[in-house]
Amino acid sequence: MKTMLRSHAFRRAIWAVPLLAGLLASCGGGGGVPPPTLSGEVHGLAPALAPNSGVLVLSVNGTRQTVSTPGYVPAVLPLTFAGPFTVGQAYSVAVQTHPAGQICAVTQAGSGRLDASVSNLRVECHTTRLNDTGIAGATPTEVSSRAPDSQSGRDAEQARLTKVGGGAYGFDFSKICSSGDLVDATGGCPSGATWDCVRDNVTGLMWRRADQAYAGTTPTASERVCERVDWRAPTVHELLSIVHAGRAAAPYIDTDFFDVDVASARLYSAEIYRDAPANERWTVDFSNAGIAGKYSAGGAEQRRALWVAGTSALDDPGSAAYGRTNVGTSYTLIDTRRELMWLVPKAVAPADWSAAVDSVAGVNATAPGSYSDWRLPNRSELDTLVNRAFANPAMDPAVQLAIPGPGLAPMVYWSASPFVGDLSRSWVIDFTYGDVSTMLKSSQARLIYVRNRVFNPAPLPPI
C-alpha cells in the first residue's frame, strides 16, 4: 500500500514539472524564462500634417496599437508591441488604419509562432500622391471581375484609409466655398459664398467644381475663385487623375463632388497633341470612361474645360527624376518624384492580357532587384511613364533608354485595369503619342511591371 501511494505521488510530481515551467514562462517571474517579445521596424512613416493624420494603427491578434512620429523619419522607426505574449503563442500583425496620404503594409515576419522573441517584423509605408482608378468593387463578385486592379492601391484599402474629406473608393475630395472656406457639415458656406471648388486631398490640386465652355483662353489673374488666382488649363496627367473609371455610367468622375456636363464631357487640356500639324489639343473624355486622345471635331461651342490650380507630383518630372539599374534580364527604373519603381524586361515579348496577368507570379519568383512584390501597373500608374512633350515614343529619354531594341518603345502596353463597361477589354496606353484607350484582352501588347517604393526623402507639402 505504501508503495502504491509513493507511485501516485511520483506521477503527480512528474506532471507538475511542465506545468510549473509553463507558468513561469508565461509569467516571466520566479527566475524562469522571460516572456517572448514582438518587435521590429517601420520604414517610411511620414509625420502628421494635421491632427491624427500621421498615425498608423496596427493590431496583433486583435489588440490595437498606434505608431506615430513627430518628425520626418525617412529611414526607420523602432516598433515594439506591448504584449504580454506567451511562449508558443500564434500571432498575426495587420494594418488597421493607414496614415493620411500613405499606405502601409506588413512585409516581413507578420505572422507565426512566438517560440522565441521575434525582432525582425517589418512594416513599410509609402506615400500615395497618385490617385487610384476607381476600378474597385462594392461586392466580392465585382472585386474579382475587376482584378488585378481592384486588389491593390488606395481603392483596395478604402476601408482603412485616413481621409481628409470624402469620395468614392480611394478618392479623397473636399468641397471648398467661393470664400476659400470648407463647406461645412450641413453643406453650407459663409453668407454670400457658394460651393464652387473641389480640393483633391491626394494630389493637392484645387479644381473648379463645374466645367465650362472653352474658347481657347484660360482664366486671368483677376479671376479670384475660392481665394485662388492661379487657375489654368490642366495637363493630361492631371485630368486623368480625377477619372473614376469604375463608374457604370457617364460622367466618369465622382459626381458627389464634380458637376460635369455629360452631353459634352470631353474636356480640353493645356497640351498639344504632337502629331503634324500640331494644331489640336489633348482631351480626356469623361463621357467615355476617361479615354485620352486628340479631339479635332466639333465647334467651339462643344469644347469644355475644367480649370485647376496648384502644383502636384503628377506631371512629368524630367529625366533627372529617374535612376536606372541593370538587374540581369531587366532594368529597374526609380521614379523619385512619385515613389514608384519600374521593372523593364530586356526581352520585350508581347502577350495577351491573361498571360500578362499570369506573368507576375513568374517575375516575383525570381525576385529581380531583390523584390518580390512586382505587379502590373494600373492605368493611372502606367500613365506616369508618358511624357506627351515627346512623340514616337512619348516617353522621357531615361525611360526610353530602358526599352530594349529600336522601335519597341512606341508600342502598346497593358495595364492591370479591366474596362468595367466590357470585361473582354482592358485599358492600354500607346506610347507613340500617349493615347489612353481599351483593347480586347485577346490582343497582344507589351509588358512592364511596377512596385511601390518606400523612400520619402522629404516632407510632403501641406494640403
Where in the chain are the domains? 38-127, 163-309, 319-452
Please state, in angstroms and rounded to a whole number, the distance separating the CA atoms of residues 421 and 321: 36
Among 64-73, 284-293, 333-342, 420-429, which is the least confidently predicted range? 64-73
Average pLDDT, the chain: 85
Can you say how many angstroms the Cα of residue 17 is from the centroid of all Cα atoms in its chain? 54
Which 8-state DSSP code applies to residue 167? -
Residue with cell 512619348: 394
Does a cis peptide bond (omega within 30 degrees of 0) precede residue 377? no
> Which residues, 6 or more positions from 374, have their beta carbon under 8 angstroms from its beta carbon?
343, 360, 363, 364, 368, 449, 450, 451
Question: What pLDDT was estimated at residue 52?
Answer: 63
Sign of dihedral through CA atoms 317, 103, 106, 68? positive
Residue-wise pLDDT for 71-82, tens only, equals 655 568 899 999
Q: 325, 338, 323: which is closest to 457 by C-alpha? A: 338
Question: What pLDDT was estimated at residue 16?
Answer: 35
Which 8-state DSSP code applies to residue 34? P
Whether 409 shows a pLDDT value over 80: the answer reads no
- The arithmetic mean of pLDDT across residues 130-150, rounded, is 94
Residue-wise pLDDT for 355-407, tens only, equals 999 999 999 999 999 999 999 999 999 999 999 998 888 988 878 888 776 66
Question: What pLDDT was estimated at residue 6?
Answer: 42
Specify the pTM: 0.87
Among 5-19, 102-116, 307-321, which is the least confidently predicted range? 5-19
Is CATH 1.20.120 the right assignment for the domain spanning 319-452?
Answer: no
Answer with the residue of higher pLDDT: 402 or 114: 114
How distant, in Å, are the alpha carbons of 40, 44, 119, 226, 389 from that of 110?
10, 17, 11, 46, 44
pLDDT band at residue 206 under the 50/70/90 scheme: very high
**Three-state secondary-structure class, residue 437:** strand
Question: What pLDDT was estimated at residue 51?
Answer: 65
